[in-house]
Chains A and B, each alone.
Chain A
Amino acid sequence: MIAGTGCGIITNQGAYPDPLGEGKSYFRQIALFDDKFLPQFEQIAGYIHDNGAVAIQQILHAGRYGGIDLGYCVQPSVVPQTLPHFRQPREVSKEQIKAMVTQHAEAAKRAIKAGFDGTEITSFMGYLLANFNSKFTNRRTDEYGGSVENRGRFMRELIYAIKEAQGDDHPLIVRLNGAELMDVHGGNTEDECFELMKMAGDAGVDMISVTVGWQEAPESSIGRDVPPGHWNRLAIRAKKLLPNIPITFGVRLPNPVMANQNIADGEFDYWEVCRPMLAEPELLHKAAEDRLDEAKHCLGCMNCLARLFRDLPYLCTNNPALGHEVEPEYLITPAVVKKKIMIIGAGPAGIECAIAATKRGHDVTIYDKSDSIGGSLVGYAAYDIANKADLQSQISYYQTMLNKLGVKVNLNTDVNPKLMRSILHQYDVAVLAVGAGVDTSVIPVPEQEGVLVLAADVARGKVNVGQKVVVLGGGKIGLTLAEGLTQEGKEVTIVEKEKRIAGDVIPTWKWRHSSWVDQLKIKTLTLSKPIKIGVGGVTVVNDKGEETFVEADTVIAASPRKPNQELFQEFEFMVDELHGVGDAMVPRGLLQAIHEGYRLGVRI
């Protein structure tokens, strides 16, 4: 499937080159330190060539982020980790450096022997080559440390050795930071990065891929909170610096139309794409056929990388089949028995189920009591301070697909037992994808009408919110609303019963929400719960029994969430097959909604 994406060059995932596994950075990473691995590489190169693409094998020694199966990692100097996922460092000797160069060259030779057209080495994200290049991790006093010239020595030796090993007919690509984003740690300046880039060019690399940031960088580089095109200036600088070397670029550049224009404008020569194609493997074909409205987008949620930090295989929020391409259970295949399906709920879970089921030949109708599709995603998109367009594009995609597939959508329709009785036997299958609500039974009854409102109603703009706001619940719903409302100028206080906020937030966004709450100076009361919603505000008590009065014109109920499961029992004897998906089963998030909806759609 990857080989068939339409890419002109396909780079296979980085293989670590050393037998000890000091270069191994993540679970299930491939290795290339022995000829015994050749058959699998031959197969991959063959797949790529069969689809007309150039096959490149990346050789990745992770250095500071390596040794994932060991108790240590290796670096030019001992500089302790700033992220506790990684192993503690050992300094490499000059003999070890020579051995590393040899291992890289042998791995490259092996890749060519397996049928790959060229190889790539990588100095970004904080891997071994970056560790030598950067002042942050290279504090050596021998010929491999000190000046840029000396720090770049390891890179030059790698380039010379690999070029010699694989021959002039096979290109060598190097990925280099245009910016490390490690200034606070004393990392390389951008000028030093480009000095190293020039050095790589002079040493004979055939192509340079410009990248941004280290894993440990204290600022975002590829998440949704970075605007598309933000880093293009680095590619432009590289192209000006090295006009005769092909420059590839793709950092936070998810849109093929934008990338195409950038190439036409001479900003760089080739568009690199990874995450957008994990989300939508047919991205290039859809772009070429002017069907981008049918393409799913990378939502910049970084769940893919978060999984690697848990030693788990990749997955994609937006592509449930990723990593399961050869499993029939994940593929859209014609249904043996065509069924009439009613899906109750036009959120991501319901629509994903509808799209997959319709593609299989089922006759699908969606019902939703609101006046638009999207479910809770509508609210997230409206208040997301990272990048509203990314989440809104998901809703646009859903609308397009429902229209193109001819899925019937009945909005403003509350599905209840009475309605079900009126349409009895019209459907073979009912899918409850009605999401979750807030359990208001645990919230004090307000003394004043209109003060307490539901998060969903705020998110969909159904209610007016006063200037002083208390949000009950510091999970992702409460935080998203609190941040958005604060940006609108409201004075917001979050009341959270747990010790910490963001308890239900995915790991990649926990720190973002925490930072935003601090930056926006949103007051948070943790280990606290409301005991009275009175005139003018909320009385809150903490775990020590201390009471606080918080002024509020509006109190938003954002927690605790409860699944909307009432219809399960009501409908049990009204339809042949009854299923549930997404938050209606257990309140979680977008990933589970998309995955469960799709998985049900391909199996009904």
Chain B
Amino acid sequence: MVSTIGEMFLDAQGWQTILDRRPEIFTDMLQGASLGILPKKELESTGGTMLIWIKQVDKMAVFYRPFTGFQNTSVDLLMIADDVALESLHSKAQENPFYEMREQIRNGNILYYVMKTKNELLDLGYEELIDVLGIPFLGACR
């Protein structure tokens, strides 16, 4: 049983449940493709912890790594989530967390950064995930 935001963030099993519910999103991803989630309050910290989803041979799996700044981050996509977003995602693990993630991105509670170019992300198999999350993929042209 987890109750605090910190516990939710470190609940690897809970996050794995979210990933296992929608395996088709990650089917086309190459092994090693990775997405990081960082609590917003740890963005400025040099010793924060980042949740990482890394594509394995058979599925997307949950890991934790230290976050020491943008420059040292090796993930392909990075999500910066505030407490509202983290709690909301975790609490909706059994419902539709990816839809919730999309909503939280739209609301600005989750910020995303792309650490690879368009072609690199396509080659790594991110098209489905980016579509599910509603991220403007090829230029926003507002």
Contact = CB atoms under 8 A, between A and B. Distances in A.
A, B from the same assembly: yes
Interface of A: 78-88, 91, 181, 183-185, 213, 215-223, 302, 305-306, 308-310, 500, 507-508, 511, 514-515, 518
B141 A82 contact: no
Contacts of B114: 80-84
B71 A78 contact: yes
B141 A81 contact: no
Contact of B139 (A91, A185, A223, A309): A309
Contacts of A507: 138-139, 141
A305 B140 CA distance: 9
Contacts of B139: 83, 85, 215, 305-306, 308-309, 507
Pairs A-B, 8 closest by C-beta atoms: A309-B139, A184-B108, A80-B113, A508-B141, A84-B118, A84-B114, A305-B141, A302-B141
Given A221-B142, A508-B141, A514-B134, A82 B118 contact: no
A581 B113 CA distance: 43
A87 B142 CA distance: 19
A55 B121 CA distance: 42
B17 to A, nearest CB: 22
Given A507-B141, A508-B141, A518-B106, A81 B111 contact: no
A213 B134 CA distance: 20
Interface string B73-88: 1000010000000000
A309 B141 contact: yes
Contacts of A85: 117-118, 138-139
Contact of B140 (A78, A79, A83, A91): A83
A91 B102 CA distance: 30
15 contacts: A78-B70, A80-B114, A81-B115, A84-B114, A88-B115, A215-B141, A217-B142, A220-B142, A302-B142, A305-B141, A500-B131, A508-B141, A511-B134, A518-B106, A518-B134
Given A88-B116, A215-B140, 6 more contacts: A80-B78, A80-B114, A181-B142, A222-B142, A223-B141, A511-B136
Contacts of A82: 111-114
B137 interface: yes
B83 to A, nearest CB: 15
A507 B138 CA distance: 7
A217 B108 CA distance: 11
Contacts of A310: 138
Contacts of A518: 102-103, 106, 134
A284 B118 CA distance: 40
Contacts of B117: 84-88
Interface in B95-142: 102-103, 106, 108, 111-118, 120-121, 131, 134, 136-142
Contacts of A181: 142
A215 B142 CA distance: 7
Contact of B116 (A84, A222, A309, A515): A84
A309 B139 CA distance: 6
Among the interface residues B70, B137, B140, which one has the most CB atoms of the partner chain A within 10 A? B140
Nearest to B109: A184
Contacts of A220: 142
Interface string B53-93: 00000000000000001110100001000000000000000
Contacts of A215: 139-142
Contacts of A511: 134, 136, 140
A218 B108 CA distance: 9
A223 B78 CA distance: 28
A85 B121 CA distance: 10
A87 B115 CA distance: 9
Contact of B115 (A80, A219, A223): A80
A215 B140 CA distance: 7
A86 B71 CA distance: 16
Contacts of B131: 500
A313 B106 CA distance: 31
A557 B95 CA distance: 32
Contacts of B71: 78, 91
Nearest to B70: A78
Nearest to A85: B139
Nearest to A514: B134
A222 B112 CA distance: 23
Among the interface residues B108, B115, B117, B120, which one has the most CB atoms of the partner chain A within 10 A? B117
Contacts of B118: 84-85
Contacts of A308: 139
A216 B140 CA distance: 7
Contacts of A216: 140
A223 B137 CA distance: 18
Nearest to B118: A84
A185 B78 CA distance: 13
Contacts of A222: 142
A515 B107 CA distance: 12
A80 B142 contact: no
A180 to B, nearest CB: 12
Nearest to A219: B142
A185 B137 CA distance: 18
Nearest to B72: A78
A83 B112 CA distance: 9
Contacts of B70: 78-80
A85 B131 CA distance: 16
B138 A184 contact: no
Contacts of B121: 84
Contacts of B106: 218, 515, 518
Nearest to B80: A185
Among the interface residues B102, B103, B111, which one has the most CB atoms of the partner chain A within 10 A? B111
Nearest to B136: A511
